[in-house]
Chain A
């Protein structure tokens, strides 16, 4: 224990942290601009009239066209600020707040890597990632530090490790390892890809990819930590993420991970590259103060947190939550992928092929007559698609319809959902109990009794005996 403590408090170069700041800020700035240029600010945050809220964050509201574009402009600028290390704390706080605000606007846009960005931005607020290799140091040379306690860099290594290991643990299930699902489905429809397409159509190909993916996720953070295995592990990182980027529409995630995992490299490696980069800039841009380069690398000042105990307490809380929250699914009965209670915020990435179809019926208790809802009168196609497979969103939409039909003059409307879903090629089957009036159900952490079991024994849907 004492040895671990000594090890963790040992001073090490600040360079891995500053590199992480630069790369993260840059890739986020590009991300935000790409999002904007794809027209998604409009499509996802201005056009919709209904937004799916996170439980407890119902008060987060969109700001209208001008407001949303302003938020994205500020977000891009603050990401750039983080990258440059310019007004760093303000930039980091602003980026974290704007990004997280936008993520909280609509559950249907949830992606694990968006959640990771929020967390990384949150962690960056608290660390002195601008105390070297930054514009702030160029402005105020006396803030420069060269060394930080090892645990400070460790925070980010641990966070990335948690992402990988949980992602790997989530893959340890029957469907993924024994039936190569859903990769079998996804790869089969990509067998026309050049070079390795022929592997995709074989059943052993999907099986091999499933196993490699699982082992990769479980092992890579540990292999990146060890000096001897680091080069090969990083090669695997680049290969793995480039392949997923090539195969699947997963946006910027591969690049975030490819650049983010560089933080596992030692301080000297980062110092060497930062020095080269500054040398290059000095060569071409004469006006740059050479002190940034030399001061940063040569400074032997060790950074110490001002409120050490508060800081360590915050980190302890954060990581305790990180380790416990993804496991909350264990408290719910039946198949996690089916009911999705405790699915989000658990690093379950590309785990299932699921599709659903939801029809809502509004019943007037006075006349005892029902009417069907056109979901697309209220939702965008992507919102409808996400809602149709996620029970909490189905409930939320039912509650919206309750209010909507109340407004239309029906007192106490009853809302019923007729939903069918298919999971990993299982065949579509009833998902939500169509006899339950969802307007009376409440949202919360309790298990939702209106979700029908995954394995069903009905005349139309005989229980599978092959499992």
Chain B
């Protein structure tokens, strides 16, 4: 009964206050964020440039692979490897946008399913013929497969070059590598064409907060991407799902040994989306600005700045992991554990506080509520 009494007291107080102050507090600025500016900045300055950047990077890989194919040697391989690593990092800028055109071709799983299946790759190469779109080849394509083909066929450059110059299967190896490069490039070109050929306009025009609106799609996929980093990139290799038994062979970028770099690149990409910074590094309208405009709070401080500082802490923690991650998860676990904890904190902030403040449901599907 005490609660009922307190409720009626609250009602009474509220009525008195309302009468006393007219229509309540009028001092606050309007609570509103600029949806059009957010969608336009994300589409024009972040998403579309990220895809064209990736496309350029893939063209570079294609060119350097052509030279390597024509004249296999350590120098050509080194150039190809550098271009490949740059392209993989460029992919990290696109990875969060798995909706619309990218979702329609399942881009994320097509180009970045890891760990790669080396047995399947060898089967394909030996057969000399393959269809990368088959379900069986989902973990024999994309960047992780190229990683194996460029770094995993031998212990050093000379050994890898030797494989590509052996008469026995060098032709098949070269053809498979070429097919992997062409496959990713074709997918990226397709997605980019869809963006510039109409989806960009759709994205900029769908301004609600409902399931399917651009903000909702973006925030949902941003969260999903971060959870993939947490689970697949760091958690599983660290043994988070196997009772602390590390699984170093599950890292992303196993053969190139660039796992921590890839993970930090991906968090940086998410950070830039949050800030609204495009590849030109100009801070335009981002999610941070939306949270600021909505005056979202976090236990007494501003939510926008709390998330910003957690992003930078997480990025720094990931950059502090020495590559290769496959060694660190076994013999130098502390920095990996630390990074994992920071990612977890960031997930909580994005998935509960940010989504809640922007009134976005993290469900990926439509449903009734009440």
Contacts and interface: CB of A to CB of B under 8 A. Distances in A.
Specify whether A and B are partners.
yes
A355 B363 contact: no
A211 B329 CA distance: 56
Contacts of B211: 249
B243 A248 contact: no
Interface stretch (A198-206, A271-279, A433-441): A198-206
Interface string A453-467: 000000011101010
A142 interface: no
A110 to B, nearest CB: 9
Contacts of A211: 18
A385 interface: yes
Interface string A177-209: 110100011101111100000001111101110
Interface string A252-263: 110000000000
Interface stretch (A11-19, A133-141, A222-230, A363-371): A363-371
A421 interface: yes
B299 A371 contact: no
B247 to A, nearest CB: 12
Nearest to B215: A189
B10 A173 contact: yes
- Residue picked from B2, B17, B357, most chain A C-beta under 10 Å: B357
A300 B352 CA distance: 61
Interface in A237-294: 248-253
Interface stretch (A154-162, A308-316, A394-402, A424-432): A424-432
Nearest to B24: A207
By secondary structure, the B interface counts as loop
Contacts of A427: 297-300, 303, 353
Contacts of B303: 427
Contacts of B369: 111, 248-250
A206 B358 CA distance: 15
A335 to B, nearest CB: 10
Contact of B366 (A38, A369, A461): A38
Contacts of A371: 240-244
A382 interface: yes
Contact of A357 (B1, B2, B351, B370): B351
Interface in A370-413: 370-374, 381-382, 385
B308 to A, nearest CB: 15
Interface residues of A, number: 70
B294 interface: yes
B309 interface: no
B231 to A, nearest CB: 7
21 contacts: A111-B369, A113-B370, A172-B8, A178-B13, A185-B359, A188-B32, A200-B32, A204-B25, A330-B2, A357-B348, A364-B243, A369-B243, A370-B243, A371-B242, A373-B241, A381-B363, A385-B363, A427-B353, A428-B352, A429-B299, A464-B300
Interface string B262-303: 000000000000000000000000000000001011111001
B240 A372 contact: yes
A191 B32 contact: yes
A185 B296 CA distance: 9
A330 B210 contact: no
Interface string B65-103: 000000000000000000000000000000000000000
A215 B235 CA distance: 51
B5 to A, nearest CB: 10
Contacts of B363: 381-382, 385
Contact of B31 (A203, A355, A370, A426): A203
Contacts, number: 164
Interface string B331-370: 0000000000000100111011101111111111111111
A429 B8 CA distance: 29
Nearest to B303: A427
Given A192-B35, A353-B356, A359-B344, 9 more contacts: A172-B10, A172-B11, A189-B294, A203-B24, A249-B366, A356-B352, A372-B240, A381-B363, A460-B299
Given A207-B24, A370-B243, A464-B299, A425 B365 contact: no
Contacts of B235: 372
A461 B11 CA distance: 29
A201 B347 CA distance: 28
A354 interface: yes
A319 interface: no
Nearest to B354: A355
A123 interface: no
B198 interface: no
A112 interface: yes
- Residue picked from B17, B24, B298, B368, most chain A C-beta under 10 Å: B368
Contacts of A370: 243-244
B14 A355 contact: no
Contact of B356 (A43, A173, A349, A422): A422
A249 B210 contact: yes
Contact of A186 (B25, B32, B207, B359): B359
A361 to B, nearest CB: 9
B359 A189 contact: yes
Contacts of B2: 330
A203 B28 contact: yes
Contacts of B368: 111, 249-253
Interface of B: 1-4, 7-8, 10-11, 13-14, 17-18, 23-26, 28, 30-33, 35, 207-211, 231, 235, 240-244, 294, 296-300, 303, 344, 347-349, 351-353, 355-370
Contact of B294 (A169, A188, A359): A188
A353 B28 CA distance: 21
Contact of B351 (A38, A113, A173, A355): A355
A343 interface: no
A107 to B, nearest CB: 14
A425 B356 CA distance: 7
A126 interface: no
A330 B332 CA distance: 52
A283 to B, nearest CB: 38
A128 B363 CA distance: 43
Contacts of B362: 355, 381, 385
A201 B211 CA distance: 21
B144 to A, nearest CB: 20
The 6 A-B pairs of least Cβ separation, nearest first, read A251-B368, A427-B299, A201-B32, A189-B359, A201-B30, A188-B31
Given A177-B10, A188-B294, A207-B23, A202 B30 contact: yes
B167 to A, nearest CB: 46
Contacts of A40: 367
A80 to B, nearest CB: 22
Given A204-B24, A355-B351, A250 B370 contact: yes
A189 B209 contact: yes
A190 to B, nearest CB: 7
Nearest to A207: B24
A232 interface: no
Contacts of B352: 355-357, 420-422, 428
B370 A330 contact: no
A461 B35 CA distance: 31
A38 B365 CA distance: 11
B241 A374 contact: yes
